[in-house]
Each structure stands twice: as structure tokens, then as C-alpha cells.
């Protein structure tokens, strides 16, 4: 039996997450695997993974681990679609399959007291992630950013591996200095 690229990737992720590896070690091990996987995306992604939504970016489930240790999604970004400013509460690895995904980072300049108010964020750098690019993040400190596609660029498609079931995350109101929990609909 031939193992598909997706099956091999999932097996690799399972081998690294079963021991609940350190977040930095997980992304270090899995970023090269993501690089290989996005080159083979056409062999395992179907039309259902490229569905878009005219109202907001679309999340299309590829795989949820039965033990909730990781999840894999294709995100489709139409021109002008952005996430809110958010973190993940997890480690993650992202690969770009199509287009250019823009990531605008934020830096926490107040101490993290665990409170949902009094959070001071400053704008940080910008990453332009073109086809074939891979990036990663770890929690603690949380990777706070906004991601999307400016209205003058074509659609982008990205593959997102998260170190948990991605059903919620924190969003930030930069001007009010607040954080709140957002719950995602199941795909």
C-alpha cells in the first residue's frame, strides 16, 4: 500500500505530539514537513478544501486528530479578507499554497497578568508569505497578529497545522486594550 503525502504528514505529526513535545521542538520538527506537504497539496486536497466565503475568510477542515492533539485546515482568503487581531493558545505551522498571505504582528508591551483588560499592544513587523513559504508560532508569549489579503491582491490559500483542536482563540481590541474569547463554528 502506498502512503499518501497527507498520511505521511499526519503520521509525522502524531509521532511528535504523542510525547507532548515542547512547542518550539514541535514547530522545529514539523516546519520542514509542512514545506514538503504544501508542494504536494494537489495530490490530497479536493474542491471542498478550496471553498471560499464572500463575507470572511473560510476554514476548510482537512484533519482533526481523534485525541484533540492537533488539527489541520485549509484557509481561503479572498481579496480584502482579514482575521481579527488574535492569538492561538497553541503552537502552529502554516504553509502558503497559493497567493501571498500578509501577516501583521503585534507585540505586548504590558505585562501579561492574565486579565482581559489593560492589555497594551504595539504594532510590530509585517511578513509577506508567498507561495511555498512556511512560518510557525509558539504560545507563551502568544503570537499576536492579524492575517489576511489586501483588497488589491488575488486570493491566497494556506494550510494551517495547530497543536490542538482550533475551536477558539483570543481576539484583541488594540485601541480599547481588551482581550476576549472567540469560539469558532465547526467546519
For 158-170, write each residue's pLDDT tens digit.
999 999 888 888 8
CATH code assigned at 79: 2.60.120.10
What is the rounded distance in angstroms from the CA atom of residue 90 to the CA atom of residue 117? 21
Q: Record the pTM.
A: 0.92
pLDDT in tens, 41-70: 999 999 999 999 999 999 999 999 999 899
What is the rounded distance in angstroms from the CA atom of residue 153 to the CA atom of residue 32? 27
What is the rounded distance in angstroms from the CA atom of residue 53 to the CA atom of residue 82? 12
Q: What is the mean pLDDT of residues 172-181?
A: 91
pLDDT in tens, 21-36: 788 999 999 999 999 9
Pairing of strands 121-129, 71-77: unpaired
What is the rounded distance in angstroms from the CA atom of residue 6 to the CA atom of residue 3? 8
Q: What DSSP line would sit under 39-63, residue for residue?
A: HTGGGT--GGGG---SSS-EEEEEE
Q: How many domains does the chain have?
A: 1
Range of the domain at 169: 5-183
pLDDT reading at 187 higher than 70: no
Q: Which three cell numbers stand for residue 121?
A: 499592544
Closest CA to 152 of 83, 57, 100, 79: 79
Amino acid at each position: 500500500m502506498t502512503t499518501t503525502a497527507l498520511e505521511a504528514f499526519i503520521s509525522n505529526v502524531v509521532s511528535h505530539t504523542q510525547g507532548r513535545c515542547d512547542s518550539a521542538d514541535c514547530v522545529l520538527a514539523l516546519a520542514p514537513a509542512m514545506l514538503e506537504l504544501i508542494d504536494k497539496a494537489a495530490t490530497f486536497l479536493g474542491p471542498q478544501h478550496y471553498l471560499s466565503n464572500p463575507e470572511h475568510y473560510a476554514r476548510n477542515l482537512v484533519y482533526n486528530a481523534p485525541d484533540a492533539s492537533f488539527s489541520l485546515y485549509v484557509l481561503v482568503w479572498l481579496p480584502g479578507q482579514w482575521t481579527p487581531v488574535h492569538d492561538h493558545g497553541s503552537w502552529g505551522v502554516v504553509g502558503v499554497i497559493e497567493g501571498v498571505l500578509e501577516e501583521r504582528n503585534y507585540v505586548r508591551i504590558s505585562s501579561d497578568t492574565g486579565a482581559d483588560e489593560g492589555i497594551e499592544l504595539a504594532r510590530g513587523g509585517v511578513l509577506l508569505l508567498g507561495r511555498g513559504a512556511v512560518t510557525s508560532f509558539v504560545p507563551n508569549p502568544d503570537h499576536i497578529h492579524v492575517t489576511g489579503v489586501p483588497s488589491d491582491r488575488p486570493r491566497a490559500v494556506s494550510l494551517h497545522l495547530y497543536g490542538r483542536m482550533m475551536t477558539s482563540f483570543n481576539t484583541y481590541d488594540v485601541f480599547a486594550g481588551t482581550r476576549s474569547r472567540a469560539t469558532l463554528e465547526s467546519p
